[in-house]
Amino acid sequence: MSALNDLNKAIAQGSEKARARALWHTCDVLTAGSYSEDDIWTFGEVIDRLAEEIESSTLAQLSERLAQHDNAPKQTLRRLAMDDSIEVAGKILQYSDRLDVNTLADGEPRNNFLQRALTWNPDGVLTGARHVVLGGSYAYFSTPKAMVIVDLRDPMKPKVAASVPLEAPRAAALQFRYIFVTTAKGLEVLDVTLPERARRVEGALVPFADARGIYVARTYAYIGAGRQGLAIVDVEKPETPTLFKAFDAGGTLDDATDVVVATTNASLFAYVADGKNGLKVLQLTSPDLQPKFYGFSPEPNPKLVAWRETASPARALAKGLDRDRAVDETGGQIAIFGRIGSRPFTLEEQRRFYLNPDGTVWKVKD
């Protein structure tokens, strides 16, 4: 290894062409031999020094050479995998068996290569916010006294699009033209057909003593209702929601805080963060529970099928992956389907189907 140390000392004096020759010579020595991890680390230090000011095309060749080699230094793989050029990073990310989460991370959760670009809270409008829902280019914040809608079309210049007064909103779920909000009163509904004209739907209230998290799946809203367990609300007609069913699993589901709904094969499941009781899994549909489980939105018939205690109270759940979804709520494409030459509708094209030129909803009388 003394030869490598001597080479390392001479790096600063060489031309780019000489550095490239030294780089390939070092790679030849590395890939031809059998070394300990300590030796491989030393090779990596030299290779990284040689590659500091080398052109991108040479780095791409280096990636291709090291991607599938057992002797590739991990610190070099990490540097190449983090390169901005896909020609450099691609081969490493695709083929290297020595690249894993430990290679890409340094154990410091704050060192995530993200930089704060903007802190924005004009006049304290978002102070105390406890929940946010993203809908395309808009963010819907549940603040202590209102649902605040922020326009993020220019991410570095956000602006308040609307603010709708509510009594202690807790969480929200957005579906098409409506956002369903849990508040101190229960479940309330806002019309956000045009976010800048957002309004509370008068009379659209399902009372709950302690409504918390909410998830809307097709024509039902699922609410973590504290001691009442899981509340299921029929929202097929969003402006006149009605309670469909409350389920507490015989009194064992009594701290329901958050809920996420997902499908596995042909069955629908609700995953409930049941606070002090941990995680509960409820099966909502199956041939046994609901003979009419086919169709767009069969009636849910919950049954507790699994649970697990958690080290601390279960308060929140991550959302699963939405399948077969081409665009976000403002028409931004988020997936590619297999139809050549096709594309999803933009927001303006979508609005032509249901809005009049003045922005009111197009309706028929019969």
Give the residue with greater pLDDT, 158 vs 326: 158
Please identify, among 264, 295, 311, the residue that sits at the C-terminal boundary of a domain.
264
Spatial CA neighbour of 230 closest among 286, 176, 275 = 275
Please identify, among 225, 241, 264, the residue that sits at the C-terminal boundary of a domain.
264
Q: How far apart are CA 210 and CA 246, in angstroms?
A: 13
Query: Which pLDDT band holds residue 112 (cuts at 50, 70, 90)?
Result: low
pLDDT at 179: 98
Give the residue with greater pLDDT, 295 vs 299: 299
| Any domain includes 81 | yes
Radius of gyration of the chain (CA): 28
pLDDT at 116: 81
pLDDT higher than 90, residue 15: no
141 & 232 share domain:
yes
> Which is it for the CA torsion 141, 245, 261, 326, positive or negative?
negative
Q: How much is the average pLDDT of 93-112? A: 76
| Any domain includes 100 | yes
Tokens 């081409």 sit on residue:
326
Phi, psi of 365 (to 5 degrees): -90, -20
pLDDT higher than 70, residue 153: yes
Q: How much is the average pLDDT of 307-326? A: 88
Instruction: Yes or no: say if 47 and 74 are a contact pair by the CB < 8 Å rule.
Output: no
Domain that holds residue 364: 324-366
| Any domain includes 337 | yes
Instruction: Return the DSSP state at 98.
Output: T
| Any domain includes 51 | yes
* Cβ-Cβ contacts under 8 Å for 360 (sequence gap 6 or more): none
Helix (H, G, I), strand (E, B) or coil at 65: helix
Q: How much is the average pLDDT of 293-297? A: 84
pLDDT tens-digit series, residues 255-293: 999 999 998 877 899 999 999 999 999 999 988 887 777
Percent of the chain with pLDDT over 90: 59
| Any domain includes 278 | no
Count of structural domains within the chain = 3
pLDDT at 40: 92
Spatial CA neighbour of 260 closest among 209, 322, 207 = 322
Written as one letter, the residue type at 144 is: P
Spatial CA neighbour of 260 closest among 321, 335, 176, 177 = 321
| Any domain includes 347 | yes
195 & 247 share domain:
yes
Q: How much is the average pLDDT of 185-207? A: 97
Phi, psi of 243 (to 5 degrees): -70, 125
| Any domain includes 115 | no
Query: Which pLDDT band holds residue 294 (cuts at 50, 70, 90)?
Result: confident
Instruction: Yes or no: say if 285 and 314 are a contact pair by the CB < 8 Å rule.
Output: no
DSSP 198-223: -EEEEEEEEE-SS---EEEETTEEEE
Instruction: Return the DSSP state at 144.
Output: S
> How much is the pTM?
0.73
Tokens 């030849």 sit on residue:
28
| Any domain includes 23 | yes
What does the chain come to in residues?
Answer: 366
Q: How much is the average pLDDT of 96-107? A: 75
Q: How far apart are CA 200 and CA 149, in angstroms?
A: 13
pLDDT at 169: 98
Q: At what angle do helices 2-10 and 37-50 cross, to 10 degrees?
A: 20
pLDDT at 6: 54
92 & 133 share domain:
no
Instruction: Yes or no: say if 172 and 188 are a contact pair by the CB < 8 Å rule.
Output: no
Please identify, among 215, 246, 264, the residue that sits at the C-terminal boundary of a domain.
264
183 & 243 share domain:
yes
> Which is it for the CA torsion 39, 44, 45, 49, positive or negative?
positive
pLDDT at 20: 84
Q: What is the CATH number of the domain that holds 216?
A: 2.120.10.30
140 & 238 share domain:
yes
H-helix segments, 240-364: 347-351
Helix (H, G, I), strand (E, B) or coil at 258: strand
**Pair of tokens at residue 133:** 């829902």
Q: How far apart are CA 147 and CA 4, in angstroms?
A: 63
> Which is it for the CA torsion 82, 83, 86, 89, positive or negative?
negative
Q: Give the burial string for 335-351 (b: 16+ CB within 10 Å, else e).
A: eeeeeeeeebeeeeebb
45 & 168 share domain:
no
94 & 165 share domain:
no
241 CB neighbour count, 10 Å cutoff: 24
pLDDT tens-digit series, residues 199-253: 999 999 999 999 999 999 999 999 999 999 999 999 999 999 999 999 999 999 9
> Which is it for the CA torsion 89, 95, 96, 101, positive or negative?
positive
**Pair of tokens at residue 342:** 């096709």
79 & 141 share domain:
no
Q: How far apart are CA 282 and CA 273, in angstroms?
A: 11
Written as one letter, the residue type at 305 is: V
What stretch of H or E contains 244? strand 242-247
pLDDT higher than 70, residue 76: yes
